[in-house]
Amino acid sequence: MKKYVFTPGPVPVPNEVLVEMAKPIIHHRTAEFEDIVKKVRDGLKYIFQTEQEVFILASSGTGAMEGAVANTLCRGDKVLVVNGGKFGERWGKIARAYGLKVEEIMVEWGRAVDPKIIETKLNDDPSIKAVLLQASETSTGVMHPTDKVAEITNKRDDVILIVDGITGVGVFPLPFDKLGIDVLVGGSQKAFMLPPGLAFASMSEKAWKFNETSDLPKFYFNFKDYLKSAEKNTTPWTPAVTLTIGLAEVLRNFREEGLENLHKRHQNLSHATREAFKAIGLEIYTKDQHSTALTAAIAPPEIGAANVIKGLKENFGMTVAGGQDEAKGKIFRVSHIGYIDKSDTVAIIAAVESTLKKLGHKFELGAGVAKAIEILD
């Protein structure tokens, strides 16, 4: 049976990228690899929409999140964490691991944070040094209002905005320089259509000023070392050579597609999937602004998400993600990132319909597929 991956990381990888990564390995301290790094540096700046350097880290996205904290803050600093899902929760865990004081804004799962709450917190407590936010909360399918939060932090010289864009960068507009984000991180196994193993991070001028006084421990993720190396088209430590070669091919393809088209593609696939699921009687878990990286659907309670996920895998070879913590057993998540196109989207919707029909869900068979095709066309 052919296998399909519809999880929000890892994601399917284009064939031409796999071919590039299958070529004989090259040494990373050579002019050949430096040329590849130069192309990757330029391509990442294009995707991040920044004039700042974008660092290439041999880690998962969580490594970049840790680096974002370690390179900007000091022992005992207070941070404001938006916790509206598993990855907002992770910001708090990282901050506490570094001895920071954490104040959390607890947001109902499926909801986006109200920027006014952040503004009030900052007004009431001038000791807060950073706001830690998800652009896209992958566990709930929510897109937080990064632009509105950036408007608030931009007015303050003593507060930085650190954003997890791991399922946001390359998916929807997150113009780093224009919005005034201070640290933005990404990951290879999301919109970048690669296997896991690379993370990306960029810092604003304001973030670099924070870096001058930061006293948190850092060695492997010392961004000063990455900046010095990047200027020489290399990395401070042994890079993930094969993944970097694949990244160069992905970024070349992204330039050909164009940034606006890249964002529009994810928007169209997301819109079609949500409306298709609604057409067959499913409720969408996300109540506020939807991230176009994925769709989180509530399984019929009498069926449960586990049975839907099992049916998709056993009968169609399709892997989707389940819910976590309070959403476990309630939702299944279908990704729109990676090497996924219109045909894949119609296929997963048809498979969901077939699976639900076999499990006894009452709806008009074909209604979801028809709605998706109508939108995609």
Q: pTM for the complete prediction?
A: 0.97
60 backbone dihedrals φ, ψ, rounded to 5°: -80, 175
Give pLDDT, residue 347.
98
Q: pLDDT of 254-306, one tens digit each?
A: 999 999 999 999 999 999 999 999 999 999 999 999 999 999 999 999 999 99
Q: What's the whole-number average pLDDT of the chain?
A: 98
Spatial neighbors of 347 by CB under 8 A, at least 6 apart, are 4, 318
**Tell me: the pLDDT tens digits for 102-112?**
999 999 999 99
Predicted confidence band of residue 199 (pLDDT cuts 50, 70, 90): very high
Token pair recorded at residue 324: 């976590």
- pLDDT for the residue 195: 98
SS3 364: coil
CB 138 within 8 A of CB 88: no
CB 276 within 8 A of CB 365: no
Q: Which domains does the chain have, with CATH numbers?
A: 4-9+259-376 (3.90.1150.10), 15-256 (3.40.640.10)
Task: Give the percent of the chain with pLDDT over 90.
Answer: 100
φ/ψ (deg, to 5) at 289: -65, 125
**Residue 349 binned pLDDT confidence (cut-offs 50, 70, 90):** very high
- Return the DSSP state at 187: E
| Residue 291 confidence (pLDDT) | 98
Mean pLDDT throughout 246-256?
98
Q: At what angle do helices 241-257 and 259-279 cross, to 10 degrees?
A: 90
Separation CA 226–CA 207 (nearest Å): 15
Res 59: pLDDT: 98
Q: Which residues contact 97 (CB under 8 A, 6 or more apart)?
A: none
User: 161, 184 in Cβ contact below 8 A?
Assistant: no
Give the DSSP per-residue string, 295-345.
EEEEPPTTT-HHHHHHHHHHHH-EE-EE--GGGTTTEEEEE--SS--HHHH
Q: Is 200 helix (H, G, I), strand (E, B) or coil?
A: strand
Alpha carbon distance 82, 19 (integer Å)? 40
Band (185; pLDDT cuts 50, 70, 90): very high
Q: Predicted confidence band at 233 (pLDDT cuts at 50, 70, 90)? A: very high
What is the spatial distance between Cα 265 and Cα 29, in angstroms, rounded to a whole number? 37
**pLDDT at res. 15:** 97
Are 251 and 159 within 8 A, CB to CB? no
> What share of the chain has pLDDT > 70, as a percent?
100
- Taking a C-beta distance cutoff of 8 angstroms, is the pair 368, 276 a contact? yes
74-107 per-position pLDDT tens digit: 999 999 999 999 999 999 999 999 999 999 999 9
- Helix and strand numbers (H, E) in the chain are 14, 15
Q: Say what the pLDDT of residue 75 is.
A: 97
User: 144-164, pLDDT tens digit by residue?
Assistant: 999 999 999 999 999 999 999
